[in-house]
Structure 1
Amino acid sequence: MTRSRTHLSLLIALALLMLSSLLAAQQPTAVIGARASLEPWSDPLEALGTLRADESVTLSSTVTALVAEVSFSDGEEVETGQLLLQLNDSEEQADLRSAQALRDERRNTVTRLNQLESRNLAPRADVEDARSRLRQVEAEIQALEARLANYRILAPFSGRVGFRDISVGTLVTPGTDLVTLDKLDTMTLDFGVPEVSLGMLEPGLSLTATSAAFPNASFDGEIASLGTRVDPVNRNLAVRAELANPELRLRPGMLMQVTLQLSPRNAVVMPEAALIPEGQRQFVLVLQGEGETYRVEKREVRIGARREGEVEILEGLAVDDLVVAHGTERVRDGGEARLIGILDGDTSVPDILLQARNESEKDS
């Protein structure tokens, strides 16, 4: 009798175990979903470019003279018209003072002859000759003042000067390099783009650029102009862009990794993990319903470009459609699924799984 009861207990326990397994199998499979969203999208095109200053010049002398004054320091920020160097112009200043004195004398002569002519005491020809000699000396003064300007080296635009490699007393000659000046708040970036992309390029197209010198920073810019010719050797079109450089971190000559944002548009986007490839075709599992339990519908989609973790949907999905992002291998078309969370910009898969686990332990 005892053996029969033991045997019966074992049968009952086995039946309960099978029943609980069957009930568990009948429960909808837990999945994580994601909603298709409308987001800005573009086709990236990468290239290498070289930076140039927006304005750059090496100032030099046009006369032979000694440096009388140096008015800048290494790397100093200067303004338009600021005096950088003064060359010795004492001889030219003396010539100017002599010409100015002669001008005053000839003005007095013209004034006196005008008075005599008004009383018919001087011929008209003498007055005209005096006026002509006055205009001549005034022209000489203008020429001297123009030459004196060559002895003052001024900043043609606002920017940053380079190293100071010249001292007071240095003899400079025409063509002698005195100082470099670069306008660095805006940089020019030159790079080449394959001719096959010419139809997608236009001034104003946005881009980002990165440098090995600043691995955690990116610099935004836009195309300023396109070259007029395609290089017949490498079939590239020269492109010039402008980058803002408010912190003056970028320098002329730097190598930049350029990423162009071609064909900017708004696209329906979903996580790439939701795709189910079957040969050349792509499918997704759409969740239909509300609450926690949803009906699963397998739907074919046509995809476009991809970027890290996301894919562009051209056909098959609409904005706000809910798809299975994780758990696609455990559910089937026409079946049921239990939604335990929806991915978004603030929620990750580990966060959803941890929250579901905590809720399960609380219910138990």
Structure 2
Amino acid sequence: MHYKKSFPLLLTIITLASSTYALANDNEKKQAIPVTVEPISTKEFVATLNEVGKINAIDFAELTFSAPGKLVAINFKDGDVVKKGQLIAKLDSSKAKADLDKAASSLTTARNKVKRVIELNKKQPGALSKQDFEELQDAANLAAADYRQQQAILKDYAITAPFDGELTNFTKSAGSIIDAATPLVSIYNLNPVEVSYTISQNDLGKAVKGQPITVTVEAYKDMTFNGIVDYVAPAVNKNTGRVAIHARIENPNHILAPGMFAQVSQMVNGRTNRIIAPQNAILAHNEDRYVWVVDKNNIATKRYLTLGNNLNNGYVIVEKGLKVDDIVVVTGHQKIDDETLVNIIKTQAPTADAPAQEKKKKTTDPATAAKKDDKTVTEPNHEAT
């Protein structure tokens, strides 16, 4: 009889224990996983062609005399800046000056004869026949032509600056004998300059005059120079299969020097917005890439992605799988399963800089022929747990 009275008490204890276990189990299931999240955003990209080019002077000339002779004066030093029309150097022109003086005297005599005949005809009409007058007029014209010729010859003994520019080094010194057409010095106009490069024939349809470019050079790695495309070759070079491009760059401080190699980025397709995701949010399982997307009820769901280029700044282009304002888990993946309740302890703002260049082509050697577009994507180094 005593045993029967204890049975209801035992049953109550078992029931309470079971309820307590079930409640603890439910609480464990409902415990939210703490995570850090970030909203998905877009980034503005500039589609570019990236090539290696060479800086050239737009205005360049080798300065020579048109006559041989003795160099009697050099008015500038190596590297001097000169203005258009300034006298740079001259030869001994004694004979040329004498010939010019003789031609000037002959011209004066011939013109005076014509003048006297005209005055005589006014006083005595018909004093000189028309044929004789025309002969005198022809003689004056020939004398004028000879004078102009001697003036031109005298200019052959001098070199003047054909444009504003900077001189190189002189190859001869005063007192030297120099032959005609032997360069004495060269002159460069360094503002503006030009960068010349080539693009693949596959990109010919993308390149047009007026497109902006940016240039960097090894000597000034932290500086960027802007320019405008002013020439696109109308035909493909039959030997290289490449298309020549020229772009003009303002160079007021003469920083860019002819002969420099330059990294050139030419904008070809304007600006576009692409969806990007933080690299830390992307996980991998075999060949698949995915993220945990958190909905408005704080439930995490696995979302598979198709990725584009790695931007090498902590973000990756997403071709498919995400939309703007999706919330993805950045830290705290380890304990998440599908349909897991999460506790958002921090929402971080996107940190990718904008705009950026979405590179289409890269050439590392100016003599290298066209290469295929580099479509290799650096995948995030995360493994699914």
Residue deviations 1:302-325 (CA, integer Å, cap 9, x gap): 544442233334455444554444
Query: The residue matched to 1:230 in structure 2 has which SS?
Result: coil
Give the conservation status (yes or no) of the 8 Å contact 2:64–2:183: yes
Q: Which amino acid aligns with 1:258?
A: V
Q: Which amino acid aligns with 1:255?
A: F
Give the conservation status (yes or no) of the 8 Å contact 2:38–2:350: no
Give the conservation status (yes or no) of the 8 Å contact 2:33–2:332: no
**Shift of the alpha carbon at 1:113?**
0.8
Q: Which residue of 1 aligns with 2:162?
A: 156
**Shift of the alpha carbon at 1:36?**
0.3
- Aligned positions of 1:176-215 closer than 5 A: 176-215=182-221
Q: Which residue of 1 aligns with 2:41?
A: 36
| C-alpha distance in 2 between matches for 1:24 and 1:299 | 22
Q: Which amino acid aligns with 2:282?
A: L
Q: Which residue of 2 aligns with 1:226?
A: 232
Give the conservation status (yes or no) of the 8 Å contact 1:75–1:161: yes
Give the conservation status (yes or no) of the 8 Å contact 1:296–1:337: no
Give the conservation status (yes or no) of the 8 Å contact 1:159–1:183: yes
Q: Which residue of 2 aligns with 1:5?
A: none
Residue deviations 1:107-161 (CA, integer Å, cap 9, x gap): 2211211122122233333322221111111111111111222222111122211
Change beyond 3 A, Cα 1:324–1:140: farther
Aligned-pair identity in percent equals: 24
Deviation larger for 219-228 or 102-111: 219-228
Q: Which residue of 2 aligns with 1:174?
A: 180
Q: Which amino acid aligns with 1:275?
A: I
- Aligned positions of 1:1-364 closer than 5 A: 26-42=31-47, 44-118=48-122, 119-120=124-125, 121-232=127-238, 234-273=240-279, 274-277=281-284, 282-289=289-296, 294-309=298-313, 310-329=315-334, 331-332=336-337, 334=339, 335-345=341-351
Change beyond 3 A, Cα 1:65–1:299: same
Residue deviations 1:88-117 (CA, integer Å, cap 9, x gap): 222212222222222222222112111221
**Shift of the alpha carbon at 1:59?**
1.1
Query: The residue matched to 1:252 in structure 2 has which SS?
Result: coil
Query: The residue matched to 1:208 in structure 2 has which SS?
Result: strand
| C-alpha distance in 2 between matches for 1:154 and 1:91 | 20
Deviation larger for 171-180 or 257-266: 257-266
Change beyond 3 A, Cα 1:281–1:90: same
Q: Which amino acid aligns with 2:197?
A: F
- 5+ residue gaps, structure 1, are 1-14, 348-364
| C-alpha distance in 1 between matches for 2:299 and 2:155 | 85
Q: Which amino acid aligns with 2:169?
A: F
Give the conservation status (yes or no) of the 8 Å contact 1:161–1:179: yes
Deviation larger for 94-103 or 236-245: 236-245
**Shift of the alpha carbon at 1:184?**
1.6
Q: Which amino acid aligns with 2:152?
A: A
Residue deviations 1:152-172 (CA, integer Å, cap 9, x gap): 211112221101332222211
| C-alpha distance in 1 between matches for 2:153 and 2:34 | 90
Query: The residue matched to 1:343 in structure 2 has which SS?
Result: coil
Give the conservation status (yes or no) of the 8 Å contact 2:197–2:244: yes
| C-alpha distance in 2 between matches for 1:156 and 1:202 | 32
Q: Which amino acid aligns with 1:59?
A: L
Query: The residue matched to 2:173 in structure 1 has which SS?
Result: coil
| C-alpha distance in 2 between matches for 1:253 and 1:226 | 21
Give the conservation status (yes or no) of the 8 Å contact 2:33–2:335: no
Q: Which amino acid aligns with 1:187?
A: V
Change beyond 3 A, Cα 1:249–1:140: same
Q: Which residue of 2 aligns with 1:362?
A: none
| C-alpha distance in 1 between matches for 2:211 and 2:142 | 57
| C-alpha distance in 2 between matches for 1:117 and 1:288 | 113
Instruction: Return the TM-score normalized by structure 2.
Output: 0.72
Residue deviations 1:3-62 (CA, integer Å, cap 9, x gap): xxxxxxxxxxxx9xxx8xx789824423141440341332x5443322222222211121
Count of residue pairs brought into register by the alignment: 324
**Shift of the alpha carbon at 1:87?**
2.1
| C-alpha distance in 2 between matches for 1:149 and 1:82 | 13
Residue deviations 1:236-288 (CA, integer Å, cap 9, x gap): 33333333333322222222233444433221342441334556665444445
Instruction: Return the TM-score normalized by structure 1.
Output: 0.76
**Shift of the alpha carbon at 1:338?**
0.7
Q: Which residue of 2 aligns with 1:7?
A: none
Q: Which amino acid aligns with 1:39?
A: E
- 5+ residue gaps, structure 2, are 1-19, 354-385
Q: Which residue of 2 aligns with 1:353?
A: none
Give the conservation status (yes or no) of the 8 Å contact 1:287–1:295: yes
